[in-house]
Chain A
Amino acid sequence: MAYNIFTKAVLATGLTFAVSSAFAADVPVQSGASDGMLANTCAGCHGTNGNSTGPSAPTIAGYNPEYFKFSMAAFASGEFPSTIMGRIAKGYTEDEIAQMADFYAKQKFIPAKQEFDAAQAKKADKLHDKYCEKCHEDGGASPEDESGFLAGQWAPYLRMQLADYYAGSREPSKKMKKKMEELHEKAGDAGVEALVNYYASKQ
Chain B
Amino acid sequence: MSITRRGFMQSVGAATAVGLIGAPHLALGASKKVVVVGGGTGGATAAKYIRMADPSIEVTLIEANEHYYTCYLSNEVLSDERSIDSIKFGYSGLQGHGVKVVHDTVSEIDAAGMVVKTKSGKSYGYDKCIVSPGISLNYGAIDGYSHEAAESIPHAWKAGPQTSLLRKQLHEMKDGGTFVIVAPPNPFRCPPGPYERASQVAMFMKAHKPNSKVLILDPKPAFSKKGLFEQAWKKFYGYGTDNSMITWKGTPSGSDDNVVSAVDVASKTVTTGFDDVKADVLNIIPPQMAGKVAIDSGLANDKGWCPVKLKTFESTLHKNIHVIGDSSVATGMPKSGYAANSQAKVTASAVIAMLNGQEPGIPSYVNTCYSIAGHNHGFSVAAVYKLAEDESKIVSVAGGLTPMDASEEQLRREVEFAYSWFNNVTNDAFG
Contact = CB atoms under 8 A, between A and B. Distances in A.
A123 B130 CA distance: 54
A91 B362 contact: no
B357 to A, nearest CB: 17
A195 to B, nearest CB: 20
Given A84-B380, A84-B417, A91-B397, A44 B424 contact: yes
A55 B420 contact: yes
Interface stretch (B115-123, B266-274, B384-392): B384-392
B413 A33 contact: no
A88 B399 contact: yes
B396 to A, nearest CB: 7
Q: Is the interface of A mostly helix, strand, loop or mixed?
A: loop
Contacts of B299: none
A57 interface: yes
Nearest to B41: A44
Contacts of B421: 44-45, 57
A57 B420 contact: yes
Contacts of B361: 32-34, 37
B15 interface: yes
Interface stretch (B56-64, B196-204, B289-297, B341-349): B341-349
A37 B362 contact: yes
Interface in A26-49: 26-38, 40-41, 43-48
B402 to A, nearest CB: 7
B66 interface: no
B389 A102 contact: no
A24 B1 CA distance: 33
Contacts of B389: 27-30
B279 interface: no
Contact of B7 (A46, A54, A89, A102): A102
Contacts of B420: 45, 52, 54-57
A87 interface: yes
Interface in B141-172: none
A92 B384 CA distance: 8
Given A30-B387, A45-B421, A55-B423, 18 more contacts: A21-B398, A23-B397, A27-B390, A27-B393, A28-B388, A30-B389, A31-B362, A41-B364, A53-B423, A54-B424, A57-B421, A83-B410, A84-B414, A88-B398, A91-B384, A91-B385, A92-B384, A96-B364
25 contacts: A27-B395, A28-B388, A30-B363, A31-B362, A36-B53, A37-B361, A44-B338, A44-B424, A44-B428, A45-B425, A47-B427, A48-B427, A53-B427, A53-B431, A54-B420, A83-B414, A84-B402, A87-B399, A88-B366, A89-B398, A91-B384, A91-B397, A102-B8, A106-B8, A106-B12
Lowest 6 A-B CB distances belong to which pairs?
A: A91-B384, A91-B398, A29-B386, A56-B420, A41-B366, A90-B398
